[in-house]
Chain A
Amino acid sequence: MIFKGFLENFECIATLGCMTIIPIILTLPTFSAHYFGTASFLYAVYSSIVAGILFFILFKFFSKYKNKDILDVAEIAGGKLLKYITGLIVVLYLMTAAVITLSEFNENVRNILFDEAPSIYISLLFIITVLIGCLIGLKGIFRASTILAPFMIIGFIGMFFALVPSIDLTNFTPVFGNGISDLFIGGAYKISGYESLALLFLIAPNIKNFDKTARNSFFMIAFFLLSAFFLIFGVMSYPSLTDNYLPFFELTKLISYGRFVQRVESIFVLLWLIATFIYLTIGISFSVLILKKIFNIKNSKIFLVIACIIVLILSRVLTSYIDILKFREIVSIYLSPLLIVVYPFILILLANLKNSKNNKETNYATQ
């Protein structure tokens, strides 16, 4: 167990749902428009099917190790050394994701709200809040997500009904966008929309009903992803999306209910900001807790402070928004499928092989 305490089914689903919002509102639609053009919604459907199949297989294999997290599985597969390596890889990935998200959100918040404020102030506000969240503890964060998730869903539904009249079905044509091969071959590994599902490998021992949670979480993420893509690509034409830094934010500007409720995008920003705090807090907390587990650290609070400072400093290094996007593309599109699907798959296979070998040896010994 990376952290103590049990998590309810809904707590996990809500947290994963909140974490999924981040790539959707930040860069995923822009990347999709860039890669798949008008077929972006079809890509969302296709990637959901691919991710569904991959994670179904992965979770099936992992179900043997429900009471263990991925570090324990790595230890079974390759001893302490592989556990250390896996731990460090996961920490690196989480910290990188936190750094990129902080830089990205920092820039976006500055553009949306404080165009004249120095960005260091915004970064500082972000990181102090996240540090407080980390110090309060993961259990509180998971539970906070359960309060936030219904508002997210209500926001999505409200948005959906407000924007459905603006959907232009011709935006989905040509159906296959840049071509069938680009969509079905190129899109097969671009499943970064589901990267938050990999968190289940870290919290598996804390979950009461792993299978149910995994299944429901997948459907929750699919709901967010598909409805978001349907709206974005239905309302906005794809060329405008390739240039747009925050397409989802632009979309919310179009929401209006009568004359009085107009320009309510700031309310969505409020919800997304809270979701970002949750995302960053979970990323940084897990990084430290993994280090705590693999190196048997007793007092991790000081490491939380250090991790926050590191994330802040690194996020200040990424000053250009173009660099941030490039970095995000490398991590989300190319690295994340390897880390969230391929690597755990290898670990589970190795652990299974080792287990069966051990079983055989014990059988021989008993015979």
Chain B
Amino acid sequence: MLNFFKHFMKNDKKEFHIQKPEPAPTLSKDLNIHASLDENKKFLSELLHYPLSNDVQFRDINICINDKFYKGLLISYDGLVNNDIINNYILRELMNENNRFNTSDSKSILKNKSIPNLKDIICNSILTDCQVSAVSTFEKVVENILHGDSALFIDGETYSLICDTKNIPGRSVTKSEIEMNLKGPAEGFIENFRTNTALIRKFVKDENLIFESVEVGTETTTRCAIAYISTIANDSIVDEVRRRINGVEVDYLLDSGELEQLIEDKTFIIDPLILSTERPDKVASHLIEGRVAIIVEGSNNVLIVPAIFSDFTHASEDSYLRFPYAEMLRIFRLPAIFLSIFLPGLYISICNFHQEMIPTDLLFAIAGAREKVPFTMLTELLIMEIAFEIIREASIRTPAPMGATIGIVGTLILGQAIVSANIVSPILVIIVALTGISTFVTTNYALNYSFRILRFFYILLGATAGFFGLAIGIFIHLCLLTSTTSFGVPYLTPFAPTRKGIFKDDLFIFPIWKKENRPPFLKTKKPVREPHISRKWDTSEKGGNKN
């Protein structure tokens, strides 16, 4: 017992403190490969922290060619590579004692190919089942093995052979979950870079579609691709995208969301300035219009630039649905956007400052419903809005099976209880619910976020000064939006500055055969998409086939 107290009272417990770090020894990767394999191995062990880092694989081998053995070393990252390829098509082939190549025979294929050295023999005759390329610096070696390749070093050679052995773990192509559609292609991008480029290529079968490689990040070189159709996209937009991406100097780049923030025109503006999508068909349709897409390795979202306000309000489905249905959706989307930003602000303005606007019967109903509520309308509204935001955030973060429970508890039980407890009035629940539902009509989640933030501003302005406050908010917001550009294109085009085609594909939608031109603000190389008469079979159309 005494010992226990002694132990308890003893104050000799050492607390952990983070020490000031010593500068990490940095090895310059920008060195050429030595001829000595041992030196290369020593240098790479240090560079790749082998054997401290347990996923690095160093495999010493003896390469056998024409009964002569060469010392070799194969380096790769376990987990990023396909072990089948390494074992069956690289190691087995290289170590095969039957590797015999008669280079002196005049009939030999190798002779005809005039293969002069070991590198060509290995590349062209031994490792025939995977892509092989030679690099001469350690920097390139490290970069490639981090992307899932394997590096082969041979004693006496001042290069390394990079074998394509990529097998980076990832999910398979699945349905797009954020941008849902009833009609049209359903698949979405995944985290695999090459799969994403292939998905786009699947839709745009055009040899002029270019995926230009750029790398971002000083510590991790994250592969990015600038995608554009060279015969359509304006070169200056492509140059600007290239300039901005090349001008990014960060150590790590993990997702397209980070790149978006690094290359957007204005940071402190609430509305999104770059379109981010997980739908390959959407990217394809924008590329065909003449825009530029940016694909980031490891991200399941692709960025599209330049983006204007109306792009964020359109769904891919709009062009797949028949014109009347799509038109109806567009028309309903407009008031939904208006409601999602302004409804709570308008409600509080009208109730607090402009009661004369409310018809008498409704005014009595509102007053009656608020009779037992002890809070001011602003408090009441903020309680509901904040609660709604919390429920929404919670339902996103909770595991899928529990999401429905959160929804039921949050909306039904909490909503019912909050009204019964006279914390908020039932009319306010209707207002907040209608606003919340309207927010979901916008197809783009980034725009959704901006509306949610703006709504709070308008609530505060409306509560402070009624319509005067709303006028202040609208004026400043309008001025900000109209003075903003996305990669040189005014954000509110074609509304401000006004351009032709407002009614064709921005505010409303016209039949698909009426979409003859590409958006004029993109200044594409091919402004015309299709001839004036695209339905040649229709004899009733002017200039159509009359036979």
Contacts and interface: CB of A to CB of B under 8 A. Distances in A.
Contacts of A143: 482-483, 490, 492, 496-497
A146 interface: yes
A141 interface: yes
Contacts of A263: 356-357
Interface string A254-268: 000001101111110
Given A114-B465, A143-B483, A144-B478, A10 B498 contact: yes
Interface in B460-507: 465-472, 474-476, 478-480, 482-483, 490, 492, 495-498
A154 interface: no
Contacts of B475: 129, 133, 144, 273-274, 277-278
A113 interface: yes
B313 to A, nearest CB: 15
A140 B468 contact: no
Q: Is the interface of A mostly helix, strand, loop or mixed?
A: helix
Contacts of B498: 8, 10-11, 146
B322 interface: no
Contacts of B492: 143, 147
- Which of B469, B480, B497 neighbours the largest number of chain A CB atoms within 10 Å of its CB? B497
B496 A11 contact: yes
A148 interface: yes
A83 to B, nearest CB: 29
B483 A139 contact: yes
Nearest to B484: A140
Given A147-B478, A269-B467, 4 more contacts: A125-B468, A144-B496, A263-B356, A266-B354
A253 to B, nearest CB: 9
14 contacts: A114-B468, A125-B465, A132-B479, A133-B479, A136-B479, A136-B483, A143-B482, A146-B482, A147-B496, A266-B353, A266-B356, A266-B357, A270-B467, A270-B474
Nearest to B490: A143
Nearest to A146: B496
A273 B349 CA distance: 15
Contact of A146 (B350, B480, B495): B495
B349 to A, nearest CB: 8
A11 B490 CA distance: 14
Contacts, number: 101
A174 B466 CA distance: 42
Given A140-B483, A263-B357, A273 B468 contact: yes
Contacts of B350: 266
Contacts of A144: 475, 478-479, 482, 496
A273 B471 contact: yes
Contacts of B359: 259-260, 262
B466 A133 contact: no
Interface in B336-372: 350, 353-354, 356-357, 359
A49 to B, nearest CB: 30
Given A129-B472, A143-B490, A113 B482 contact: no
A273 B467 CA distance: 9
A153 interface: no
A133 B357 CA distance: 29
- Which of A122, A144, A263, A269 neighbours the largest number of chain B CB atoms within 10 Å of its CB? A144
Contacts of A82: none
A137 B481 CA distance: 12
B478 A148 contact: yes
Interface in B425-480: 465-472, 474-476, 478-480
A129 B476 contact: yes
Contact of A266 (B467, B483, B496): B467
A201 to B, nearest CB: 22
Interface in A309-349: none
A109 interface: yes
A113 B353 contact: yes
Interface size class of A (residues with CB under 8 A): 35 or more
A262 B350 CA distance: 13
Nearest to A117: B465
Interface of B: 350, 353-354, 356-357, 359, 465-472, 474-476, 478-480, 482-483, 490, 492, 495-498
Given A133-B479, A137-B483, A141-B479, A113 B497 contact: no
A11 B482 CA distance: 11
A208 to B, nearest CB: 11
A316 to B, nearest CB: 18
Contact of A113 (B468, B472, B483): B468
B482 A147 contact: yes
Contacts of B497: 8, 10-11, 143, 146
Contacts of A129: 472, 475-476
Contacts of A270: 467, 470-471, 474
- Which of B466, B475, B492 neighbours the largest number of chain A CB atoms within 10 Å of its CB? B475
Contacts of A265: 356
Nearest to B467: A270
B482 A140 contact: yes
Contact of B471 (A136, A139, A274): A274
Nearest to B471: A273
Contacts of A259: 359
Contacts of B353: 113, 266
A209 to B, nearest CB: 14
Nearest to B476: A132
A246 to B, nearest CB: 15
Give the 7 A-B CB pairs with smallest separation, nearest first: A140-B483, A143-B482, A273-B471, A143-B496, A144-B478, A263-B356, A266-B354
Contacts of A269: 467-468
Interface in A113-160: 113-114, 122, 125, 129, 132-133, 136-137, 139-141, 143-144, 146-148
A132 B474 CA distance: 12
B472 to A, nearest CB: 5
B363 to A, nearest CB: 11
Contacts of B468: 109, 113-114, 122, 125, 269, 273
A296 B471 CA distance: 35
Contacts of B495: 146-147
Contacts of B469: 125
A53 to B, nearest CB: 30
A143 B206 CA distance: 38
A260 B476 CA distance: 31
Contacts of A148: 478
B308 to A, nearest CB: 13
A26 B16 CA distance: 73
B341 to A, nearest CB: 14
A113 B465 contact: yes
Contacts of A8: 497-498
Contacts of B480: 136, 140
B354 to A, nearest CB: 4
B466 to A, nearest CB: 6
Contacts of A139: 482-483
Contacts of A132: 476, 479
Contacts of A113: 353, 465-468
Interface string A1-20: 00000001011000000000
Nearest to B358: A263
Given A11-B497, A146-B496, A146-B497, A274 B474 contact: yes
B503 to A, nearest CB: 12
B245 to A, nearest CB: 27
Contacts of B471: 270, 273-274, 277
Contacts of A125: 465, 468-469, 472
Contacts of B482: 139-141, 143-144, 146-147
A273 B498 CA distance: 23
Nearest to B475: A277
A10 B496 CA distance: 9
